[in-house]
Amino acid sequence: MDFGNIGFIGLGLIGGSIAKTIKRIYPATKMIATAGHASTVTEAYEDGTIQNSGLLDLTAFADCDLIFLCCPVRKNIEYIRQLKDIIRKDCIITDVGSVKSDIHKEVIRLGLEDHFIGGHPMTGSEQTGYHSATAYLLENAYYILTPSAKTDPDVLAKMEAYIASLGAQTMILDYEVHDHATASISHLPHVIAASLVNLIASIDDENETMKTIAAGGFRDITRIASSSPVMWQNICLSNQEQIRLLIDQYIGILQQAKENISGGDADSIYHFFESAKDYRDSIQVKKSGPLKKIFEFYCDLIDEAGGIATIATILASNNLSIKNIGILHNREFEQGVLHIEMYDQESLEQSIALLEKYHYTIYQR
């Protein structure tokens, strides 16, 4: 399968990063794009990523081998309806939404199952827009593909190989399994983060005491509340059932915690925090407690032999000791594929300055 002609509908952080990655790895690929703002298309044209300089009608995508739908979930569904009578018989359409059931159901209704393979790159940040896109956002990130019942196995294999060639770690899931999993580890946490921020905002005093003294624990747990309201509105409306069920379960856990605290049940309170700590500590890239200062940064890294060793050697040769290092595969709302933690602020600052000198791209929260 030759993905020589690729189209993008939507060119924000994710769409722009995929396009920039393709341009970096496959510079001969012809890419066109349209977006909500003409300035986005102009920016992508001027940096050499795409070939059109202005907004396009959807008929311009008739010759594409592969089309990425990179808009909010419900908008992607609108576009796939319009594309039905435009695309070639061998064209593949994919999306990048974090909810899959609604678009798969619409694809089935439209009779487009043999044209559609759902996609969800688990990478990004609270930053938005093409200006935040990078050519390394997919590096080592999980990229979930959700084929339909009529997807040709050979086409799926070639799509999987293509996405893997962009630096991602591919995973094949049923679309309903995907939606339950992402509702659990992504959608519910965003609802919780936004709820906590709204709670504190509503009870803060006129001197904004809580905002003033907000420490690392509060900032870490609520960081994702800075994400796009439009995107999360779409996600909540598209994955209502799964999110509602999980909110009910979460309320049940909170209610039990409330009862244990009210009753002074020391053993249950201890187990509540112990079990959470054990499970959290088992997740890759461990972090210190919320009251400790974490001297960490994130770094873009091409997946190639010796990449981590090179960074470690640069730091070690300057007497800088690494406390913790690891590759992030679920990179949603984390910029940089490599997580590095140092022992103190001085080592952190020296490490960042040194790696930037060697032209590594560094991110800090």
What is the 3-class SS of 6-67, one letter each residue? EEEECCCHHHHHHHHHHHHHCCCCEEEEECCCHHHHHHHHHCCCCCCCCCCCHHHHCCCCEE
More confident residue, 121 or 216: 121
Hey, what amino acid is at 326? G
**How far is the C-alpha of 108 from the C-alpha of 233, rounded, in Å?**
24
Q: Residue 297: beta bridge partners? A: 340
Residue pair 224/333 in contact (Cβ under 8 Å)? The answer is yes
Q: Are strands 338-342 and 117-121 parallel, antiparallel or unpaired?
A: unpaired
Q: Residue 144: which of 70, 94, 74 has the closest Cα?
A: 94
- Over residues 287-310, the mean pLDDT reads 69
Which range has the worst mean pLDDT, 36-45, 122-131, 253-262, 266-275?
A: 122-131
Residue 18: partners with Cβ closer than 8 Å, 6 or more residues away: 8, 68, 70, 96, 121, 137, 138, 166
More confident residue, 343 or 105: 105
User: What is the value of pTM for the model shown?
Assistant: 0.70
More confident residue, 127 or 271: 271
Angle, vertex CA 116, rays to CA 111 and CA 118, nearest 5? 130
Q: Residue 146: beta bridge partners? A: 118
The pLDDT score that the predictor gives to residue 289 is: 33
Residue pair 80/69 in contact (Cβ under 8 Å)? The answer is yes
Classify 125 in phi/psi space as left (phi over 0), alpha (psi -120 to 50) or beta.
Answer: beta
The pLDDT score that the predictor gives to residue 282 is: 81
The pLDDT score that the predictor gives to residue 291 is: 37
- Over residues 88-113, the mean pLDDT reads 95
Where do we find the tokens 């300055």? 353
pLDDT exceeds cutoff 80 at 365: no
What confidence tier does 294 reach under pLDDT thresholds 50, 70, 90? confident
Share of the chain above pLDDT 70, in %: 92
> How is residue 216 written in tokens?
């690392």
Residue 210: partners with Cβ closer than 8 Å, 6 or more residues away: 200, 203, 204
The pLDDT score that the predictor gives to residue 238 is: 84
pLDDT exceeds cutoff 80 at 78: yes
- Over residues 96-123, the mean pLDDT reads 94
- Over residues 296-320, the mean pLDDT reads 84
More confident residue, 290 or 292: 292
**How far is the C-alpha of 365 from the C-alpha of 222, rounded, in Å?**
12
